[in-house]
Amino acid sequence: MDQGGQLDNLSPILSDQVLVNGTAVPLTLTCDGRLRFLGQRQRCLAVEKEVLGFAVEEGSRIRIKAVVEEREGICCCGNRGDLVRESFVFEPLSEDSLALWSQKLRDYIDSLGRPKRLLIFLNPFGGKKSATKIFSEDVKPYLEDADIQITVIETKYQLHAKEVAKTMDLSKYDGIVCVSGDGILVEVVNGLLEREDWSAAINMPIGMVPAGTGNGMVKSLLHAAGEPCCVSNAILAVIRGYKHSLDVATISQGKTRFFSVLMLAWGLIADIDIESEKYRWMGSARLDFYAIQRIFHLRYYNGRICFVPAPGFEDYGEPVSYHCKPTDEESPKQEESLKTQQHGYLGSDVKLEDMHWRTISGPFVSVWLHNVPWGSEDVMAAPNAKFSDGYLDLIMVKGLPKLALLSMMSNMNDGSHVESPYVTYIKVKAFILEPGTRVEDATKEGIIDSDGEVIARGNVTYKGNQKPLMAYDKVQITVDQGLATLFAPK
């Protein structure tokens, strides 16, 4: 039995004869994490990528639980295929060999820094209400194979996940997983940042499994790694334990704050996102259906935006001085929010008055800020957005013909809409929105939507079930680079 030494990555950590299907074959675990064995032909498993875990069974057998691309056999090369769970069983020839193989496999897997204890938020109401089925059939088997201890919480009402994240014992878990759309992720981030120990809490890695209507965050993560947006790829990113930092935007009005990780919209996009809720039974098709209605009954909004441009975008707009001072009086809703956040994160302490601001006045069709590329699984809102560059991508539309808008909207599936001459697409470090009334009807106002939730609502037909967090007035947005942490593909 060769236990290897301090050699190169191809040298064995352990090499020995084992039984596979009753036949003695050589099995080797190399320093680069390859589990190689000889049968009728050589095969191998990359432990870091393909091995979920292992179990010692009766009869001195070790069962390797793996996920491999669907093709003939388990091998180190071949064309990319669909992922399938597969087991490989071998039997060491002695008790000492069994103990050594178990130890070396455990040591190597532990060295990868994978999570061992996860808190799972399951939203049974999101999207097509399939999260429970997705978890039991497609997520839980992977977690069991990886021998990860899980605690599952089904969310019962809006902001349930936020309440849990705000009070949970962080020491019990290595990460949080949201089997949902983007809404539960937003709740978790806001809950963590409202804690007294927010600076430690926000380091808790968060994973996403697509089970909602939009799924923009997990689509962005998987697409960036060149992987299809599917449940298996999403949960494997969690199990493997790779991490990526994520910018967090602080939306503030006076002393009231909301923490955003996906987007903020006002105008056309916000109207489609929020007002289409009455068609939620249609699933994601509700967005396309309602978008056509809104395009042919297009609204223009008065207002103004101010922003601090990223390098290379300084020529957009006109220069202006910073003028967004905190309001002296807070509404009862804002006072209540302030009380809940007095020990939490208060937002960036950057001196905004020292930054170089620019301004653009309306009317506007749409103002859209994005933190990540994808707004949903089929809308690449901001193709140049980065997870942790410290900037938000601004996609702004003013006047344009309806047919041009229809063409532009149809190109959102690949991000080419930003190439339209009617679109202004820039990166910003800070942003102020001053929303106004509709041009065609000064008695009507709009909706400010962040991450799929109404944070402010003017005089509009849509009322919703929740009272907005903020007034339909000036809001300020700043960005904290890499504040949150996500489980992500490598």
Sign of CA dihedral 372, 373, 379, 383: positive
Q: How far is CA 386 from the centre of its chain?
A: 12
Burial class (CB in 10 A: 0-12, 13-18, 19+), 307: buried
Phi-psi group of 232: left, alpha or beta (phi > 0 → left; psi -120 to 50 → alpha; rest → beta) = alpha
Q: Which of 359, 368, 364 is nearest to 439 (CA)?
A: 364
Asked if 150 and 120 count as a contact pair (C-beta separation under 8 A), the reply is: yes
To the query of whether residue 247 is one of the catalytic residues in this protein, the response is no
Please list, in sequence order, all residues whose beta carbon lies within 8 angstroms of the beta carbon of residue 288, skipping any fewer than 6 positions away.
none
Q: How many CA atoms lie within 13 A of 371 on its CB side?
A: 33
Nearest-angstrom CA–CA distance, 376 and 37: 43
Bridge partner residues of 176 (DSSP) = 119, 206
The SS3 assignment for 85 reads strand
Q: Please list, in sequence order, all residues whose beta carbon lies within 8 angstroms of the beta carbon of residue 251, skipping any fewer than 6 positions away.
A: 257, 258, 259, 260, 264, 450, 455, 470, 475, 476, 477
What pairs with residue 318 in β-bridges?
A: 359
**CA distance to 127, 162, 242, per residue, from 339 (Å):** 33, 16, 36
> How many whole angstroms separate alpha carbon 13 and alpha carbon 251?
52
d(CA 478, CA 351): 11
Of 182, 247, 273, 393, the catalytic one is 182
Strand order through the sheet with 12-20:
42-46, 34-38, 23-30, 12-20, 83-92, 61-69, 51-57
Rounded Cα gap, residues 131 and 179, in angstroms: 6
Identity of residue 194:
E
Residues taking part in catalysis: 182
